[in-house]
Amino acid sequence: MIPLVVVDGHNLLFRAAFGFPAPIKSRSGVDRTAVFGFFAIARKAAQEIGEAEWVVFFDGIQGTSSRLAEHEEYKAQRVLKDPTIFTAMPDIKAGLDALQIRWIEQETCEADDLISTLVTDEAQKGRDIYIMSTDKDFYQLVSQTTRILNTARKRAQWIIQHEDILVQFGIVPAQWCDFRALTGDPSDNIKGIAGIGPRTAARLLADGLQLEELVASGRLSKALEAKVLDSWEKIELNRRLLKMRYITDPVLSSLTTGTVSNWPPAKDVLRQLQLWD
């Protein structure tokens, strides 16, 4: 079975739109940076991975609605200075269609949850999986067969494995949501518990300890125990917001085909879409 690469589509879009030193324009002066960058970055990653099947996921327009119902400040800090980059979406989707690379977007779902669902299903088959994203939320899905592909890092560090998370953070991937529930996640506007930073959280969760075992573990000082108990509802809310959800959907269950995806040079994709004129 060939490896599967799942792409966090909006994450890649932002990298493509803002990651080049100068705009890439058509002959008529239209800015094509986001479209060109999307396919150029994906091709570079594909060359690293080799033969694989690729599926791209995009956030639905109401994707955050269920989490916002629990926490109205969820991702509230994400104010996009240049929303015009979303005008590239139709061309990106058309390019994916032209390359016969499957993509999915559901109005009320975040891409994270859709990716989590497909990864969970495919991992049970023993398939090697790469999640292409710079978002650390996906660390919770990492296993011996599921890895992160982050091409924003130095090339030797593109692949993030189970052992890398343990070395860097002192926890295993299954503890990621517990860890972030304590420290917070600024990228999602989730505030942690005052006085608990990454080092303290790693010490408290050492040896695979779960949040529910923390108070009885003897690892908390009296002051910190009081703070944790007083903030327990917030900690549980943080974890719920952070934990990716399984979406029951027949479309997802039939999404993969097992065929090798092809990523030609970005300029060829834009030429095929007649975007260079």
**Domain shared by 143 and 267, yes or no:** yes
**Domain shared by 156 and 194, yes or no:** no
Whether residue 21 lies inside any domain: the answer is yes
In this prediction, residue 78 carries a pLDDT of 66
> How many domains does the structure of the chain reveal?
2
In this prediction, residue 70 carries a pLDDT of 82
Domain extent, residue 38, equals: 4-170+244-272
Q: Rounded distance, CA 197 to CA 200, Å?
A: 5
**Domain shared by 154 and 127, yes or no:** yes
**Domain shared by 87 and 197, yes or no:** no
Q: Rounded distance, CA 224 to CA 76, Å?
A: 28
In this prediction, residue 168 carries a pLDDT of 96
**Domain shared by 53 and 105, yes or no:** yes
**Domain shared by 202 and 83, yes or no:** no
Q: Rounded distance, CA 108 to CA 112, Å?
A: 12
Q: What is the pLDDT of residues 150-198, one digit of tens each?
A: 999 988 899 999 999 999 999 999 999 999 999 999 888 899 999 999 9
* Per-residue confidence in pLDDT tens, the chain, 277 aa: 899 999 999 999 999 999 888 999 999 999 999 999 999 999 999 999 999 999 999 998 877 788 878 877 777 766 566 677 889 999 999 999 999 999 999 988 899 999 999 999 999 999 999 999 999 999 999 999 999 999 999 888 999 999 999 999 999 999 999 999 999 998 888 999 999 999 999 999 999 999 999 999 999 999 999 999 999 999 999 999 999 999 888 778 778 888 999 999 999 999 999 999 8
Whether residue 277 lies inside any domain: the answer is no
> What six digits make up the tokens of 24?
């890439």
**Domain shared by 263 and 132, yes or no:** yes
Whether residue 113 lies inside any domain: the answer is yes
**Domain shared by 47 and 128, yes or no:** yes
In this prediction, residue 105 carries a pLDDT of 93
Where residue 235 sits, what CATH number does that domain have?
1.10.150.20
Whether residue 95 lies inside any domain: the answer is yes
In this prediction, residue 200 carries a pLDDT of 96
**Domain shared by 137 and 180, yes or no:** no
> What six digits make up the tokens of 143?
């296993």
Q: Is 272:215 a contact under the CB 8 Å cutoff?
A: no
**Domain shared by 57 and 140, yes or no:** yes
Q: Rounded distance, CA 182 to CA 189, Å?
A: 13
**Domain shared by 36 and 135, yes or no:** yes
**Domain shared by 13 and 146, yes or no:** yes
Where residue 257 sits, what CATH number does that domain have?
3.40.50.1010
- What's phi and psi for 184, nearest 5 deg? 90, 170
DSSP at 31 = B
Looking at residue 99, its amino acid is: L
